[in-house]
Amino acid sequence: MSIRVILALVATAILGVAAGYAFQGRVEPEPQPAQRVAEAAPVAIAVAATPGERAIPESQAQLQLSFAPVVKAVTPSVVNVYATTVTQQSVSPFANDPFFQRFFGGDMFESRPRQSQSLGSGVIVDASGVILTNHHVVDGATDIRISTSDGHEFPVDVVLNDPKTDLAVLRVRNPGTTSFPAIAFADSDALEVGDLVLAIGNPFGVGQTVTSGIVSALARTGVESNNYEFFIQTDAAINPGNSGGALVDIGGRLVGINTAIFSRTGGSVGIGFAIPSNMARIVAEAGIGGGTLVRPWFGVRTQEVTSDIADSLGLATPRGALITEIAPGSSAERAGFLPGDVILSVDGFAIQQPSAFDFRLATRAVGSDVSIAYFRDGKETSVGVSLEAAPGAGETASLEGNTRFAGTTVETLNAALAQELGLPFAAKGVVVRDVAPGSPADGMGLRPGDLILSLNGREITDAETFRSTADARPDGWQIVLQRGGRTFRSFVSG
């Protein structure tokens, strides 16, 4: 073997050894000092962590830390909610058939009470026995009970029901001297995508269950048809029965109320939604304070900013809430806003879509001042606005006695009510707020939400005009009303 070949083999061996050391250095880092592992004690990571201390795991020991301290601290604040609803149901499919009623009488088809139960979860938010849950869990219930994690049961009353947020506040009936473990609220605005969260509830009635995951997305919309869509999305498993339960951070603080899931099977597929704690806190405080919830009313109608609209206005990207209509005398009008303005932020929080603007206002208190940034004529401007409550409820009228409209309760339409119903601010008329079941008005086909415009050619502009007109005894009624955005004209006998 020549000297050149030998030298080549030696060089190759030396390079191979060097490369081996380099490769070993990449896949097997040096052991971390014992002090760094000791600093990451389980309780410190799982309980005392704050949003300002976010960090990825740096060792195998940190990956093996447990959520048990958080679970032990939080689960006593989460309860099971059992809601019972009693409805009248006919025992015969022919009960509503006029032919059978005529020949066999109504007594033969007497309806019987039917009892149904729904299961959900709730979160104790005050030591006096105040619980926050979902509106859809207790809606229409005639009897509601809660069960705590230690097995005690308590009857509760609904003190506040808020369909707009799908939240309800319950209070324990006659709690005596019992002190309940209330959960602490976190600032949901401090959440970031990727943060660890735990979902606690009673899925499928199997008992209190804890699942873990991360925040998958923020400010999700299109989930439910309520007024304030601004959901936290998580992949922590949420199933039927979890509604109203707690979504907590690794500090054991409430960041959301579990509300809905996206699923084609009815079970969890890793897409769950929770109402942010900043919204839940407003509803909870109102319930604790006596059950009256008053929100700010800005007095504008808005729409999404599309790419075409952004280009026409000179906005660099499609974002914000475009003002399309302003109510006369509203806070928006007094602050100088105009149709065509694009709202960009509220108190520094960016507004990407109209639902975000509605959410930001709904989490502010009446009487507080906010800074609103908007875009007009190619420039961004900020203005301070003092938030006010919506105009007081309009005049109401309830009809009874010998009239086709008996059983009807109506309210004079005002700007805030018009916005709630999706009507122009300048709309006039009276809104049907309630129709008594089985009443003449019910038989005539009136429904809550109908906007009555005229009766027998007389324009109905307020509740008193409706009352005086409907008390008459004509041979027939020509009714003009709006329902679902469509105008109907009908004639019924007097």
Name the packing angle between helices 354-362 and 277-288 (round to 10°). Answer: 40
Residues 159, 165, 167, CA angle at the centre, nearest 5°? Answer: 35
Dist CA 132 CA 180 (whole Å):
13
- Most distant CA atoms of the chain, gap in Å: 126
- Please state, as a whole number, how many other Cβ atoms lie within 10 Å of the Cβ of residue 311: 11
- Beta strands 300-304; 396-398: pairing state: unpaired
Residues 6+ apart with CB under 8 A from 115: 84, 85, 86
Q: Are 255 and 249 in contact (CB under 8 A)?
A: yes
Query: What one-character-per-residue DSSP string does 111-129 give?
Result: -EEEEEEEEEEEEEEETTT
Dist CA 83 CA 160 (whole Å):
15
In the set 126, 166, 341, 358, the catalytic residue is: 166
Dist CA 170 CA 158 (whole Å):
5
> Is 243 in the active site?
yes
Nearest to 178 by CA among 142, 206, 150, 143: 150
> Is 347 in the active site?
no
Q: Are 404 and 311 in contact (CB under 8 A)?
A: no
In the set 77, 121, 188, 243, the catalytic residue is: 243
Dist CA 168 CA 160 (whole Å):
6
Residues 6+ apart with CB under 8 A from 463: 394, 395, 396, 397, 410, 411, 412, 430
Two structure tokens written together for 314: 């000179």
Two structure tokens written together for 255: 């960041």
In DSSP terms, 49 is beta-bridged to none
Dist CA 460 CA 405 (whole Å):
14
Dist CA 343 CA 386 (whole Å):
16
In the set 121, 126, 135, 136, the catalytic residue is: 136
Nearest to 122 by CA among 245, 261, 260: 245
In DSSP terms, 100 is beta-bridged to none
Dist CA 143 CA 83 (whole Å):
6
At 62, the amino acid letter reads: Q
> Is 369 in the active site?
no
What are the residue numbers of the active site? Answer: 136, 166, 243
